[in-house]
A and B are shown apart, each in its own frame.
Chain A
Amino acid sequence: MQNAVTNVQLNQHGQLRHFLSIDGLNKTLLETLLNTAESFIGMDEQPIKKVPLLRGKTIVNLFFENSTRTRTTFELAAKRLSADILNFNISTSATTKGESLFDTLQNLEAMASDMFIIRHPDSGAAHFIAKSVTPNIAIINAGDGRHAHPTQAMLDMLSIRRHKGDFSKLTVAIVGDILHSRVARSQIQALAMLGVPEIRVIGPKTLLPKNIELLPIKIFHQMEAGLSDADVVIMLRLQKERMQLSLIPSEHEYYQCYGLTKQKLAYAKPDAIVMHPGPINRGVEIESSIADSPQSMILKQVNCSVPMRMAILATVMSSYSEKSKPS
C-alpha cells in the first residue's frame, strides 16, 4: 500500500504531484511545505490579499461529504493564489458510487480543470481518483473515510511549530475517538516523520483501531498518565455521526473519563497547548473554559489553515511545470 501511494503521490523528481496522505512522503517535503506556508502567513494583512501564482489555473472543490471549514479554507486558499475555483457538493446517497464518481470526474476533466480537491466518505477515494484521472490533473485529499486528512494534519503541524518550535523535543498526546479519526491517523504519521520523539494516544479501547500498536505511538487509557508532562494536547471530536455501534456507555461517562477539563489539563506541562481540529463539542470532549483559554490554539489553528493550504496547492501545481515534466 505504501509503495503504491508513494508512486502515485510523487513524480520522477520526488516532487508532490498529488497530496493524498502523509504516508509515503518524507521529512524534507513536509518541512518545505511548512516553510512555504510561513511565507503566506501575514498575507491577510496586506491591502491586496492575493498573489498571482496560480493565475489561469482551474481548481475544483469536489465534496461528496459535508464540510464548511475545509471547503471554505481551500476556496480561500485557491482565490488568494489567483486560481479560479468551482465548488461541487455532491451527495452520494442516491447514486451508485463507483459509476457516478467516474462520470462526474469525466465531466469535470472535460472542463480543462487543473486540480481536484476531494472529500469523500470512502477510505481510499482520493487515491482511486488520482489513479483514474488523466495525468495532468492534480488530486488533493481533503479527507477520505477513516483513512487520511493530510492537509488538516499539516496545518496542525504548522500551528505546533509556530508555538512550540523544535519537533524533536516534544511530547504530543492525542485524545479521544482515534478509531473514526482520519485526522489522528495523518497527525501521527506527520508527527513521527517530523521527528517527534513521543507520540501518545489516549482513549477507551473501543475507540482505538485494531493494529494501532503498529504505529510509532504509546497507548494510554487513563488521562492522568497519558497527559503527564505533555507539550501538546490534541483533542478529537467524538464523531457521533460515524458511531453506529455503542462504543461508549454515554456522553456523560465519556466526558468524565476523557473530557479535557482544567483538572486533567494540569497533568500536562504548564505551558502545554491545546488543539482540536473542530468542530468542537463543548462539554463532550472539552470543557468550554479550556476551549476559550489562552492555552487553546483552536482559533489559531484556523488561522494556519489558509496559508498551509495555499502552500500545498502551490507546491503541487509547481510539480506540473515544464521543468518537472518527464523527459
Chain B
Amino acid sequence: MPQNLTAETSSLLEKVCNDLINHLDENQIKDPVMVGIHSGGVWVGNELLPRLALKDPLGSLDISFYRDDFSQTGLNPKVKPSSLPFTTENRHVILVDDVIMTGRTIRAAMNELFDYGRPATITLVTLININARQLPIQPDIIGKTMVLSPQERVKLSGPNPLSLEIIKKT
C-alpha cells in the first residue's frame, strides 16, 4: 500500500519556506530568482514563490537534454521547453526540486543553468531528501530527510493539491 503524506505536504512547504527565508537573511542574499525543475520542482516553486514575494516570475528547467544517462536510457519523449524569463548572470538563484536522491538531476540542472549565464550563488531547496547520493551535492534547505528501502520511491503528484506518497517499485 502506498503511504500517503498529503497531510504532511503543507507543513513541509511551511518549514521549507521559513528555513529558506532565514537562510537568505543569514547569507545576505537579496533579490533572488527562483527556478523549479520539471515537473515537481516547478509545482513546489509555484507554492514558494508567492510566500517569498519575489518580483521575478518562476523559471523552469527541463533537464532532459543535460542528463548524463542519454547513452543508457535515451531521450525523454515528453521533454518540455525550459524557460528562464530573467537573466541569471550575477543573480542569486534558488533552485527548487521536489526530491533529491542521487544528485544527478541537480548536476544536470546546474549545467543547464550555467548555459544561461553565471549566477552569483545557487541555493538548493528540496522538499524531500533521500540519502542515496552518488555525487557530492547537498541541498541547503530540506523539508524532510527519509530513509527508503531500495524498492521504495517518493512521488509528488500535483499541482493541485500537492501530494506526496511513497510507492513501491514493482
Contacts and interface: CB of A to CB of B under 8 A. Distances in A.
A52 B75 contact: no
Contacts of B66: 51-53
Q: Which 9 residue pairs spanning A and B have beta carbons closest together?
A: A318-B74, A321-B74, A318-B75, A51-B65, A48-B115, A322-B72, A39-B81, A39-B79, A53-B65
Contacts, number: 61
B81 A38 contact: yes
Contact of B70 (A36, A38, A41, A321): A321
Interface residues of B, number: 22
B50 interface: no
Interface string A305-325: 000000000110111111110
Interface of A: 15, 32, 35-36, 38-39, 41-42, 46-48, 50-54, 314-315, 317-324
Given A46-B115, A318-B70, A36 B62 contact: no
B interface secondary structure, majority: helix
Given A53-B65, A54-B70, A321-B70, 7 more contacts: A38-B81, A42-B81, A51-B65, A51-B112, A318-B75, A320-B74, A322-B72
Contacts of A54: 70
B65 A47 contact: no
Contacts of B70: 53-54, 317-318, 321
Contacts of A51: 65-66, 112, 115
A322 B71 contact: yes
A3 B115 CA distance: 43
B77 interface: yes
B62 A39 contact: yes
